[in-house]
Chain A
């Protein structure tokens, strides 16, 4: 990445509220890597995503997904990166969404490490052991009303062109430019 980076908490760099509902707040990011970068957090400080009810964390990622689509529609982004900071000792749970364009100068690739087999085995054993607790302590969320059962709930992707949405969508791209089709053809 060519932008200067710092270890500053993303939460402290977020100011303007762009969207808010009962379970998610979207803010513009001030010390951003890209124009249009937004951060989604719960309305109140939460140390870890694991401390949130399942329904809440799903909603935050749902809003992140909608934000990614909004960045495509608004800025004509060619793709998006979604980066969540979680399980942190000193930072609150947050999800950052960045619009990406080819040749934008950002580079999130990491230098791959070749770990010794014994290190890989040790990591596998320890993580597997901790994963045994998944689903055991989760706060039970309220049951959904019948209309929202998973069997009938549409994919989030269906929300990309909300015909009945107030005000509609303001686009900076051709209406013929279909994100889903374009990405399908571009991924190797």
Chain B
């Protein structure tokens, strides 16, 4: 990578003060466990666990994107074998390789390095599992996927690989937000009833149907079930109270009357809602977008394949 002179100068200044460069040159002692001409690994002096190592290139790179391609291949080319060596030596359950790239990610050293950390049960390092309760944003994921595809195709153009054939992206991830799914269900009374009364059966259907799996890939079906069960519980209570005090009619009539217009059981509303949702999820360069959004005259022109699939989403259940 050809760096601007200003960057080169800045890196040269960093090198002079870098303790890891000094370790790489043997000017500072470390408990070395592996080294070759370009790579060195040694024990971390403040380990997270016994056997915690630092694996790094001898050359000074501030962050991963600066790394020369040759050193990138040398470093990551042995990463798997090095992890296995550490796992065997420490008899650990697994090994995790941890990279912090950038100040915001907690990078403390200006010499790019990899922490190689042996892990065992109850070792107090579960934060490295990087799991949590964050609900993914479907639109962001789609954009990330498209950007990775664009970058990868550019990468392959510059680095042709005999094993790689340029290809289209896998079927676009068509996911919905929780609010969109709720709207879809609201417009399909039978589906809504099934979710409330037989949630386990709905879960099984989702697990066994690829299209439904995709739909629920970024949201929790449990949240959806909980939403409608809570709503049903509330409505039942209200209806019961109304019946006790006012001799009201049946619950369904009451809820329909009280519900906002867009939540009424309108047979025509379902496809419109589905297409509304899909148009927000479609990629900007999707040729079918015009078809999907222009649903004011659905009979004037043939419906796209994608549109038909979307209309049939509720029928998948």
Contacts and interface: CB of A to CB of B under 8 A. Distances in A.
Interface of A: 1, 3-8, 10, 13, 15-23, 26, 28-38, 48-52, 54, 57-59, 61-63, 65-71, 73-75, 77-91, 93, 96, 98, 100-102, 104, 107-115, 119-121, 123-124, 126-131, 133-135, 138, 142, 144-145, 147-148, 150-151, 153-160, 162-170, 179-181, 183-188
B131 A31 contact: yes
Interface of B: 1, 7, 10-11, 31-34, 41, 43, 46-51, 53, 62-70, 72-73, 76-90, 92-110, 117, 121, 124-134, 136-137, 140-155, 157-165, 167, 169-170, 173, 175, 213-214, 217-218, 284-285
B291 to A, nearest CB: 20
A57 B134 contact: no
Lowest 9 CB-CB distances: which A-B pairs, in order? A79-B102, A49-B80, A162-B154, A3-B132, A78-B104, A18-B145, A79-B105, A88-B94, A112-B46
B188 to A, nearest CB: 23
A87 B84 CA distance: 5
A98 to B, nearest CB: 6
A70 B149 CA distance: 9
Nearest to B103: A186
A36 B136 CA distance: 7
A81 B153 CA distance: 23
Given A85-B96, A93-B80, A130 B65 contact: no
Contacts of B141: 16, 18, 28, 36, 38
Contacts, number: 426
A164 B84 CA distance: 39
A103 B26 CA distance: 37
Contact of A49 (B79, B90, B146, B147): B79
B224 to A, nearest CB: 14
Contacts of B150: 162, 165-169
A127 B95 contact: no
Contacts of A101: 104
Contacts of B86: 87, 127, 130
Given A108-B100, A124-B31, A86 B108 contact: no
A78 B89 contact: no
B140 to A, nearest CB: 6
A88 to B, nearest CB: 3
A138 B85 CA distance: 13
B172 to A, nearest CB: 10
Contact of B105 (A17, A81, A85, A91): A81
Given A32-B134, A33-B131, A73-B147, A112 B47 contact: yes
B236 to A, nearest CB: 32
Nearest to B123: A110
A150 B38 CA distance: 14
Nearest to A1: B127
Nearest to A165: B150
Contacts of B96: 83-86
25 contacts: A3-B134, A6-B129, A15-B217, A23-B163, A26-B148, A33-B134, A48-B80, A50-B80, A62-B72, A68-B65, A79-B100, A82-B97, A82-B99, A85-B94, A87-B94, A112-B46, A113-B50, A129-B89, A131-B33, A142-B163, A156-B69, A159-B151, A180-B63, A184-B7, A186-B104
A110 B128 CA distance: 9
A124 to B, nearest CB: 4
Contacts of B152: 19, 21, 63, 66, 159
Given A70-B151, A148-B160, A160-B151, A108 B90 contact: no
Given A20-B170, A33-B131, A86-B80, A158 B1 contact: yes
Interface-centre pick from B67, B68, B155 (highest chain A CB count, 10 A): B155
B155 A100 contact: no
A168 B141 CA distance: 16
